[in-house]
Structure 1
Amino acid sequence: MPLYDNWCDSVRANNGQKLSLRLTEKPTGRAAAMQALPPIVRSHYDDVARINEDIAALGFTQAAAILAERLPRTPRARSGELGEILATELVEEQLGYRVPVRRLRYKDGREMALRGDDFLGLRTDPAGAVHVAKGESKSRANLTAATIAEARDVLSRDAGRPTPTSILFVTDRLLERGGDEEALGRALRNDVATKIIPAAQIAHILFTVSANNPPQALDDDLENAGVDRPNAVIHLKIEDHQDFIRLSYEEALKLGND
């Protein structure tokens, strides 16, 4: 079920290689979001088929207990990870990329932050060339210029390319799948050594979610971004930011009733 179309109104502005996208909740959008989001959150932490197997074998309560061991409990960890989930869904639904690996399934611990890029989106053009989206997400009750600058600094590291750690993590998962996924994984893996994918095929995506309106610094950031690659700067305003995060995780754990 698509998340954003029924949840948010959007204002999109393109200027050459640069995209600004501003999202606000529709008057009746929250109900639609709360219907679509819980299964999406679950899917980022565990395979949906495995969750269903747990329900069949153990019942709803025990299956929820297993899922709870994967989900973060602290407000800070939940904020950051929900921002990553919302960013992933956005780039797949509206920007034409596929994020083939749900990173949060591979965390070492419930409250442990993963290293590397927040998300890597992939697409292949009609000529067969691989395009990559290097993404950074920031979730804050109050989004500030300092947080935006921090995110841009992360995007600019490694000469603007995805970190080798992130690329190898994604390619390892793709290589394990075989078929077309394995071929895509091999092409990405080769890029770690050869850096063959040009900058024009590596987009930078900055996704932000906060309770406040986007500060001027967000527009300035996009204005100052280089023109050697596609750049997208996205802001999602959720006025009850902290309550929304708490509710999203509470609803994700409601698998059903025995």
Structure 2
Amino acid sequence: MSIFRNWIHFQEEDVVGRTLHICTETLDGRIKITDDLRQVMRSHYNDLAQIADDIKYLGYPDASAVLAERLPQTSRARSGDLGEILATEYIEHALGYQIPIRRLRYKDGREMALRGDDFIGIDYNKSTGLKLLKGESKSAAKLSNDTVKKARAALNRDAGRCTPHSLLFVADRLMEGTAAQQILGRVLKTEIARRSLSPGSIDHVVFTMTGNSPLTLLRNDLTSADHTRKQISINLNIDDHQDFIAASYLNLEHLGNN
């Protein structure tokens, strides 16, 4: 399920050989994806099959109470979480990378930001080998140049490689999964140990969800970015940024009563 097909108008712009994705809402697009967006958001906080299991054994009110304990309450935490959720969904929709671990399920506290890379995308098969995507997500009603610089600095850390503890976290979670996931987990552990991927095999992505239009800032950032790897910047423009976030979380924990 991709919420973006019925929601956004997409434009791709070349910036000195780097790529800028410009995403704006279509007329009535938000209405069309309201229910799907709520399901997507819930799935990032808990597996939907586990939510269904909670409903089966606890009933709707208690299952809703359990989900509520996972959801952030402050506007700042909600903004950051929703930015990361939409970044993850967009990367899988538009760039072809798999982001197999939903990080928000593993937060130490619902108001706390997770450490490390905001998202890591994986593209792997035996014939072509491993490619990674290192990504930063920023959500702001008015994105500043300072915030863009912080995102770029985070991408450049560890010589532009995925930070080892972030990659190891993904690998460890994969090792807890299916046989296919365990194979991918071992591939990631090999990369952690050997650091063998070239810069050209590790793409960098900045995802921004903003109320303003920061395209000039993003173009300038792309122009000066590391030229040894693929660089992509994505802006999802939401004019009523703060109201959109508040509405998206409103009664999100309510799972029904029948």
For the aligned pair, the TM-score class normalised by the smaller chain equals over 0.9
Distance 2:176 2:168 in 1: 12
Residue-by-residue CA offset, 1:154-192 (whole Å, 9 max, x unaligned): 000010001111000000011122422212111111212
Query: Structure 2: any 5+ residue segments left out of the alignment?
Result: none
1:97 correspondence with 2:97: yes
| Matched position secondary structure for 2:116 | coil
Report if aligned partners of 1:208, 1:235 keep a CA contact under 8 Å in 2: yes
SS in 2 for 1:207: strand
Specify the code of the residue in structure 1 equivalent to 2:230: P
TM-score w.r.t. the length of structure 1 is 0.96
Q: Distance in 2 between matches of 1:196 and 1:147?
A: 31
Q: Distance between the aligned counterparts of 1:33 and 1:76, measured in 2?
A: 23
Give 1:101 shift: 0.3
The question of whether the paired residues in 1 share the 8 Å contact of 2:174 and 2:182 is answered with yes
Per-residue CA shift, 1:211-253, capped at 9, x if unaligned?
1112411111111112211111000010111111111112522
In 2, Cα distance between equivalents of 1:160 and 1:15: 20
Q: Between 121-130 and 61-70, report the one with greater CA deviation.
A: 121-130
Per-residue CA deviation, residues 13-62 of structure 1 (Å, 9 max, x unaligned), is 24686211000000111102312110000000101111001112222221
Unmatched runs of 5 consecutive residues or more in structure 1: none
Aligned to 2:200: 200
Matches within 5 A, 1:205-216: 205-216=205-216
Q: How many residues align?
A: 258
Partner of 1:189: 189
Asked if 2 retains the 8 angstrom alpha-carbon contact of 1:144 and 1:215, the reply is no
> Is 2:67 the counterpart of 1:67?
yes
- Aligned-residue sequence identity (percent) comes to 47
Distance, in Å, in 2 between the alignment partners of 1:113 and 1:98 is: 22
Amino acid at match of 2:33: A
SS, match of residue 229 in structure 1: coil
CA distance in 1, matches of 2:212, 2:15: 25
Mapped to 1, the partners of 2:15 and 2:112 lie a distance apart of 38
> Which residue does 1:159 correspond to in 2?
159
Q: Distance in 1 between matches of 2:129 and 2:38?
A: 35
Output the CA distance in 1 between the equivalents of 2:219 and 2:181.
37
Aligned-pair RMSD on alpha carbons?
1.4
